[in-house]
């Protein structure tokens, strides 16, 4: 004669099976990280602040975002077999946008710092830069940080240049959303100097003139590509692509393209 489970036992068994199924489904969903979604959709969302030539800026004729960082990210996407889609965002909000999943990675002349590494993970460095002081062409008294006392200093909001300027005693720091606006105020006599990433300052000066770099470099910094915490597979894929681009000489080709040719003044 077949055994008959009591109703309560059958109910408990059903609950156990449903719970086990739910846990299995949950674990399966958890394993589908950003990297898997990116590979399935064949699209990588990239956050950037397109106001920082020659790394990222808008082409005045086409409206497209161009620059060293853009070319580099396009090559990385090519290695991954996906396409890059760029999302413009102000630099001071770029980390929060990453945390809120508005994009998958950030490439925006983004300096690797211990403070930022607590919030995001960085790729291996792809470019070494430095902070520098820019002044008007007719300025002769400013040649170092010591000369900035009681001066008005322009910086870009949320950058390492801003952090450095705020550590200098006796200066008035004025932060801008766009470093180009700071150079315009410098030209018009509203600022005494600008502290900013040297490659970008050099490019703006080459395009517009009316300013010069003075004194020694103020720092040595490495740029990295930022991803959210716990995105190990995406980070590993980016680092692998960077290594391959370096070994193949394509990273050096980008350096020559964007930094070896002096842009004529307009």
Regarding whether 151 and 115 lie in a shared domain, the answer is no
Give the Å distances, CA to CA, from 50 to 67, 127, 170, 193, 246: 9, 18, 32, 23, 24
User: Contact 34/76 with Cβ under 8 angstroms?
Assistant: no
Regarding whether 182 and 116 lie in a shared domain, the answer is no
Bridge partners, residue 152, by sequence: 172
Q: How far apart are CA 188 and CA 85, in angstroms?
A: 37
Regarding whether 116 and 156 lie in a shared domain, the answer is no
Is 85 within a domain? Answer: yes
Tell me, what CATH number does 244's domain have? 3.40.190.10
Regarding whether 230 and 209 lie in a shared domain, the answer is no
Is 266 within a domain? Answer: no
User: Contact 110/48 with Cβ under 8 angstroms?
Assistant: no
Give the Å distances, CA to CA, from 174 to 66, 89, 92, 108, 139: 28, 21, 14, 21, 19
**pLDDT computed for residue 8 by the predictor:** 53
Q: Are β-strands 193-197 and 152-156 bridged in parallel, bridged antiparallel, or unpaired?
A: parallel
Range of 63's domain? Answer: 34-128+222-260
Is 140 within a domain? Answer: yes
Read off the DSSP letter of residue 213. E
Bridge partners, residue 156, by sequence: 176
Is 23 within a domain? Answer: no
- Whether residue 69 has pLDDT greater than 70: yes
Mean predicted confidence (pLDDT) in 35-45? 96
Residues 25-63 as b/e (b if ≥16 CB within 10 A, e otherwise) read eeeeeeeeebbeebbeeeebbbbbbbbbbbbbbeeeeee
Is 13 within a domain? Answer: no
- Helix or strand or coil: residue 49? coil
Is 66 within a domain? Answer: yes
Cis peptide before 191, with omega less than 30 degrees from 0?
no
pLDDT digits (tens, 9 = 90+) for 233-263: 999 999 999 999 999 999 999 999 998 744 3
Is 52 within a domain? Answer: yes
Our count of domains for the chain comes to 2
Tell me the pLDDT of the chain averaged across its residues.
88
Is 25 within a domain? Answer: no
- pLDDT band, very low/low/confident/very high, at 207 (cuts 50, 70, 90): confident
Mean predicted confidence (pLDDT) in 49-76? 95
Regarding whether 160 and 120 lie in a shared domain, the answer is no
Q: Please state the pTM of the whole predicted model.
A: 0.80
Regarding whether 184 and 153 lie in a shared domain, the answer is yes
pLDDT digits (tens, 9 = 90+) for 42-56: 999 999 999 999 999
Regarding whether 214 and 137 lie in a shared domain, the answer is yes
């Amino acid at each position: 004669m077949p055994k008959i489970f009591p109703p309560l036992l059958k109910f408990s068994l059903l609950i156990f099976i449903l719970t086990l199924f739910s846990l299995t489904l949950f674990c399966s969903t958890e394993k589908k990280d950003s990297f898997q979604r990116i590979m399935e959709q064949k699209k990588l969302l990239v956050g950037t602040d397109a106001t920082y030539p020659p790394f990222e800026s808008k082409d005045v004729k086409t409206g497209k975002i161009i620059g060293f960082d853009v070319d580099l990210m396009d090559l990385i996407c090519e290695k991954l077999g996906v396409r890059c889609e760029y999302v413009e965002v102000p630099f001071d909000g770029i980390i929060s946008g990453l945390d809120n999943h508005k994009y998958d990675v950030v490439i925006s002349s983004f300096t690797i710092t211990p403070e930022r590494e607590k919030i995001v993970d960085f790729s291996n460095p792809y470019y070494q830069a430095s902070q520098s002081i820019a002044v008007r062409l007719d300025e002769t008294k400013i040649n170092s940080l010591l000369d900035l006392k009681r001066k008005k200093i322009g910086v870009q909001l949320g950058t390492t240049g801003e952090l450095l300027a705020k550590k200098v005693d006796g200066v008035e720091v004025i932060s801008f959303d766009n470093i180009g606006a700071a150079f315009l105020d410098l030209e018009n006599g509203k600022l005494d100097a600008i502290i900013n990433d040297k490659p970008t300052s050099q490019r703006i000066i080459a395009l517009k003139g009316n300013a010069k770099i003075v004194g020694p470099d103020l720092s040595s910094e490495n740029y990295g590509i930022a991803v959210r915490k716990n995105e190990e597979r995406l980070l590993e894929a980016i680092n692998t692509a960077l290594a391959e681009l370096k070994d193949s000489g394509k990273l050096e080709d980008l350096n020559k393209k964007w930094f070896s040719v002096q842009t004529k003044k307009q």
